[in-house]
Structure formats: structure tokens, C-alpha cells
Structure 1
Amino acid sequence: MFPRGIIYQKGISPKKGEIGLHPTFLVRLGYLALRGVGAGLIGAVTIALIFTYAPIIKEEISFVLLGPKKIASRVSWEPLKADPGSLVREEAGRFGVGAYFSIVIPGIGAASDVVANVSTSDPKEYLAALEEGVAHARGTYFPGQGETVFLFAHSTDSPINIARYNAVFYLLRKLEPGDTIIVFFADKKYTYEVTEKLVTSASDTSWLATTGEERLILQTCDPPGTTFRRLLIVATPI
């Protein structure tokens, strides 16, 4: 590994030949250790990537294979009769969410409970909320109050958390005007229709403002798994 003397001398040494290298035991041990560390790092990174992006890969595959049918088939379009609260809770339960506050998006097969009154400026608070579901922005209104209802699923903590926390809204970009969004709140069902889909800067907070009209705004990061921009879906009551 550390040869001494002349290895090749022009005009004297043959053009072809072999050189035997005999590294010491410590050198060989160090080489094997480096190989082991390298293989371990590659394995750790691979596992981390699988863990990080498994939720959004699952959403993509599910959408391609099953499409919106997997959840649209459970939507009830019949007028509520008898005890409205009981029927709403029953319908919400079919999606695996509660009727207290939750969202269902048939077009992308998404359903999640919503955590109310979450700060949009306190990472510790909204990251904790996003572990439980979608977050409702503090200072915005609730369904039925005639103003802006702002729900978000995004993270600005780290690349790992970005991919994990925004998986619920990962397929929002596939929604188009005319698609339906259902929100369950306080044992009542509210149905909205998508009217706009747009991308804004990460610092744009104008959409949190009141307008005097009820609208539902869903926000996630764009492109998926980054924090560069925000994708907004705007919907109005049907």
C-alpha cells in the first residue's frame, strides 16, 4: 500500500508488468471499516427515504389503481331525514372520521379529522396538530358561519416531516373545478364545490382574510414534499 523505490523507469522498465501491494493489517482493517461504514450509510439513507415518502407513494398508487371510486362509493347524496345528527355521525363514520370536525374529498380518496384553531405561525403547535390530521387555521371561521374556512396540511420543519405530514393533501393538485368536498362539523354536513386551483408564494397570507362570503380554502405545499410555494384549492358552498 506504501511502495518504496522505483516502480517504473522510462526506457529501462518493461512496458507491462505486475506490482504486488501488501498493506499492513491495520490498513486492511481500516479499509474494511470504511467499506462497512459506507454500506451502512447507504442502507440508512435508503430506509429513511422509504419511511419518508411511503405515505405519498401509497397515495399516488392508490389513486392510479383505484381512482376516486374507493371513497366516492361511500358518499350519501340523499337528503337527511329522521335525526340529522345521528345520520351525519353515521355517514362520517363510514369514512373513518368523526362528525365533530373532519373533511372528505371523494375525488382523491382523502378523509381526515380536522384539528380546530391551530396557529399558522407556531411550528411546534401546527406540527403537533398535523400528526393528528388536517389543521384549521386559528382566526378563520367554521363551516356555516358565512366566512372563510381555512384548512391546511403542510410542514416547514424538515424534508422528512414535509413528506409525512402533507400526505393527506398530497393529491390536492389533481382536483379540478366542479369537484366536491365534504366537511363534517358539529354533527352537520357541509358540501362545497371546487371553483379555483392556484399556486401562491409561501409568504402569501392574503387568503386568510375575510371576504363576507363563505368559502373553503385548502392549502398544502407545492411541489409536493417541498416548502417553496403553496397550492390552494378554493371551494364554495353548494
Structure 2
Amino acid sequence: MFPRGIIYQKGISPKKGEIGLHPTFLVRLGYLALRGVGAGLIGAVTIALIFTYAPIIKEEISFVLLGPKKIASRVSWEPLKADPGSLVREEAGRFGVGAYFSIVIPGIGAASDVVANVSTSDPKEYLAALEEGVAHARGTYFPGQGETVFLFAHSTDSPINIARYNAVFYLLRKLEPGDTIIVFFADKKYTYEVTEKLVTSASDTSWLATAGEERLILQTCDPPGTTFRRLLIVATPI
């Protein structure tokens, strides 16, 4: 049993004194075990947070320190000569993407392959696609066809998933009208200029419709890691 009794009694006990506590071996062992469990939980949470937010921190730091120069220096503005297909594949390769279908955004240092014909209403399908790259919305057109080309990424329901699902569009909000977007498709290079940046509701699907002219639309979540709204970047061919 634990010792019991009066520790201090007003008017009788001295104003100063010492009390010696001598917990049993089991109590001390339990205290040490709790300390160990607590330290382990703190360490596990810290590691999880680092793993989760490392891609975000990396993108922010790279943009602040390097800015557009990070990728713009690899963009070729020279007219293609000789075999256009081989030159396009060579240029795409410098960004680490393929010329079959990919996107490069020099202004934010983003480059990714694109998965074609992905359902926008089937979470299992589009989340699987986002693990591979940016997704192209099924039912919309492809570059060069004169209609809406709709690409989306970072369509997650939690900041925890940013590390797992594609975060290539995380810095999309930093684009401004006049910025350049490059899309490689079927061994051809298509260049677009940003004309508009806007935020819409999550239920707004009007941008998937045809427009009678070619336009590139990029979509991501706003704020990042939520499903409240959608950030859209609209660009037209140069």
C-alpha cells in the first residue's frame, strides 16, 4: 500500500520542510516505460510530418531560391530543324519526361508525364493516375485538336496525401498571365501562354466543356490538400 497521512496542517506544521518520496520498483518501472512510450510517439509523429511535408517544403524553397531559372534554362526556343520528332524527344528528355504526353511549366520548375484519358469521377482511377503523373481528363481533347485540353493534379483530400499523390501542381498558384506552359504530345511540342487564373467551386464542371477554340486548362485543389475549391489556370496556344 502507498503511505497515507497529513502532509501539512495549518498552524501546527512548520512553514518549511522536506518530504521524501520513495516509489516502489514497479512504480519507477512504469514511469520509465511511460517516458519511453511518449518519446517514441513524439519521434514517430516527427518522422511522419517530415515525410508528409518534405515535398511541399522542397518546392517552396526551390521556388524562392532558384525561381524560374531552375528549369527555364533547359527550354529551347529555336525553330526545329532536321527530324522534328527526334529533336522534340531530345528536348523532352532534358526535362526528364517523355515526348508521348507530358507537361513542362518553366515558371514554377515543374515537369511531369501525363496519363491520358483519366476519369474525373472515379477516385480509384484518378488517384492511381496521380501516382504516375499529371492526369488528362477523359472526354476532353488533346493538344493540336483545336479544343479544350484539361489536365489536373494534386487532387487529394488531405495534406498527408501530398507526398503520395502528385504534387507537381502545388506551386500552380504562383503562375501569372504571360507565363509559358509547354506540352509534349505525340512527338510534337505545343507552347501555351497563361491568360487567366481563377478559383471556382469544387462542383463546377463547366470548364470541361468544349469552347470552340483550343485552350489548355490546368486544375489543382485550393487551398492545397483540401477539396473546398479548385484553382484553374487557363492558357491559349502561342
CA deviation profile, 1:64-85 (whole Å, cap 9, x unmatched)? 1111112111111122222111
TM-score under structure 1 length normalisation: 0.94
2:60 is matched with which residue? Answer: 60
Q: CA deviation at 1:104?
A: 0.4
Report if aligned partners of 1:140, 1:208 keep a CA contact under 8 Å in 2: yes
For 1:111 and 1:171, the matched residues in 2 are separated by 12
Q: CA deviation at 1:148?
A: 1.1
For 1:222 and 1:158, the matched residues in 2 are separated by 12
Tell me the SS of whatever aligns to 1:165.
coil
Runs of 4 or more, structure 1, over 4 Å off, are none
Rate the CA distance shift 1:140–1:2 in 2: closer, same or farther, 3 A: farther
User: Aligned Cα RMSD in Å?
Assistant: 1.6
Rate the CA distance shift 1:13–1:138 in 2: closer, same or farther, 3 A: same
CA deviation profile, 1:23-60 (whole Å, cap 9, x unmatched)? 22222111111111111111111111111111121111
Rate the CA distance shift 1:14–1:164 in 2: closer, same or farther, 3 A: same
Rate the CA distance shift 1:228–1:2 in 2: closer, same or farther, 3 A: farther
CA deviation profile, 1:196-228 (whole Å, cap 9, x unmatched)? 111122222221122112111111122223333
What's the % identity of the aligned pairs? Answer: 100
Report if aligned partners of 2:88, 2:188 keep a CA contact under 8 Å in 1: yes
Report if aligned partners of 1:53, 1:164 keep a CA contact under 8 Å in 2: no
Unaligned stretches of 5+ residues in structure 2: none
Which shows bigger deviation, 36-45 or 154-163? 154-163
Question: What is the number of equivalent residue pairs in this alignment?
Answer: 238
2:5 is matched with which residue? Answer: 5
Which shows bigger deviation, 72-81 or 157-166? 157-166
Q: CA deviation at 1:157?
A: 4.6
For 2:232 and 2:92, the matched residues in 1 are separated by 24
Which shows bigger deviation, 65-74 or 155-164? 155-164
Unaligned stretches of 5+ residues in structure 1: none
For 1:182 and 1:18, the matched residues in 2 are separated by 76
Rate the CA distance shift 1:16–1:202 in 2: closer, same or farther, 3 A: farther
Report if aligned partners of 2:158, 2:226 keep a CA contact under 8 Å in 1: no
For 1:214 and 1:3, the matched residues in 2 are separated by 84
